[in-house]
Amino acid sequence: MTEVQRFPMDIPYGWFFVGYSDELAAGDVKTVHYFDEELVLFRTLTGKAGLMEAYCAHLGAHLGHGGKIDEKGLRCPFHAWAFNEEGWATEVPYANKMPPILSRRPCMKALPIVEKNNVIWAWYHPDRVEPFFDVIEHAEIGEIAEGKWEDLDRYAWTILSNPQEIAENGVDIAHFRYVHGMDDVPEGRTTYEGHIRRSMAEGQRTLPMPDGEMKTFPTRVETVQNGAGQKYTRITGITDTLLMVLATPVTREKVELRFAFTHRKFDKESMEYNIARMAIALVIGQTGVEGDIPIWNYKIHRKNPILCDGDGPIMQFREYFEQFYPQTERREAAE
């Protein structure tokens, strides 16, 4: 029996979540597995985050098992070679003469890192191409420390899927009724500009009040996708909510998906606070991602699906997402 290839696409490139900034203290060393590779995530004593291949360039020891941070950087547990966050060897303590190659280039593969929105973002590209667009920063995250927005409310799932399949869910209009039980999904407007996709929908939402009365409120939902790894949604209505959707590929067929919410700060007894919490519950429950996960875990990617007029702009979205696969660039260069 021929084994079905669930997903023909490779891991896409872009900026991806690899950790929350406030969960990586100076001196921490953590083993992580992303982009089909064993990696170490660490923070130097000067506060710089690094993500590097796990196995030492010297004799292959795993830096995530016994590796320590000191003033020279991440030190190997085997022979105490030290590396900075860019992969350069900063010290070989017993060497009378450093190998010449160590002064010419980094000897460890390190991924570019930026920290924005309380997230550690790593730039992944299989051909080691340097970043050519930036992570978008959210003003709301900066206002958490000022007490204007709530602390991030964080959720995580491991899913047998890939970033494209998860992101495509947002333009698959028909499934909202049959998976999530929603009667009316405003289609809104979508624009594509290079690596950025924007969609905006305005409508009304009816919600139960604490006293049981049903009330209808105007809502506006704006979603932005910035490459393959950064997607966020702003929901404006009786409360303002920001959702960061953070889908990081572990392998070609496994993703760690995280949702991180914040909303304007309200008294916890207020109607506004309860509505904000209800909105979050709807997004993560059966009416949201929990309804999608059983589908994602078992579906395959149909490259040439049979679509009808009620399916939404699925093929337009796929054309947009195709740019994040390096084999597309190689094929175009050869033509």
The C-alpha atoms of residue 39 and residue 33 are separated, in whole angstroms, by: 6
The model's confidence at residue 176, banded by pLDDT at 50, 70 and 90, is: confident
CB atoms inside a 10 Å sphere around CB 154? 14
Q: Hey, what domains does the chain have and what are their CATH numbers?
A: 14-124 (2.102.10.10), 146-324 (3.90.380.10)
Task: Find the range with the poorest average confidence among 123-127, 176-180, 314-318.
Answer: 176-180
**pTM here?**
0.92
Residue among 128, 104, 159, 107 nearest 294 (CA): 159
The C-alpha atoms of residue 274 and residue 265 are separated, in whole angstroms, by: 11
The per-residue pLDDT for range 213-223, each reduced to its tens digit, is: 777 777 788 99
CB 135 within 8 A of CB 124: no
The model's confidence at residue 333, banded by pLDDT at 50, 70 and 90, is: very low
Q: Which residue has the tokens 């003469």?
A: 97
CB 219 within 8 A of CB 203: yes
pLDDT at 331: 46
Mapped onto helix, strand or coil, the DSSP state of residue 318 is helix
pLDDT at 205: 65
The C-alpha atoms of residue 49 and residue 71 are separated, in whole angstroms, by: 14
Q: Which residues contact 329 (CB under 8 A, 6 or more apart)?
A: none
Residue 328 scores a pLDDT above 70: no
Residue 190 scores a pLDDT above 80: yes
Residue 182 scores a pLDDT above 80: no
Length of the chain: 335
The per-residue pLDDT for range 266-305, each reduced to its tens digit, is: 999 988 898 899 889 988 988 889 999 999 999 999 999 9
Q: What angle do CA 158, 327, 246 make, to 5 degrees?
A: 25
- What is the residue type of 196? I
The C-alpha atoms of residue 125 and residue 207 are separated, in whole angstroms, by: 43
Q: Which residues contact 72 (CB under 8 A, 6 or more apart)?
A: 82, 84, 90, 91
The per-residue pLDDT for range 197-206, each reduced to its tens digit, is: 999 887 766 6
Average pLDDT rounded to a whole number, residues 35-55: 98
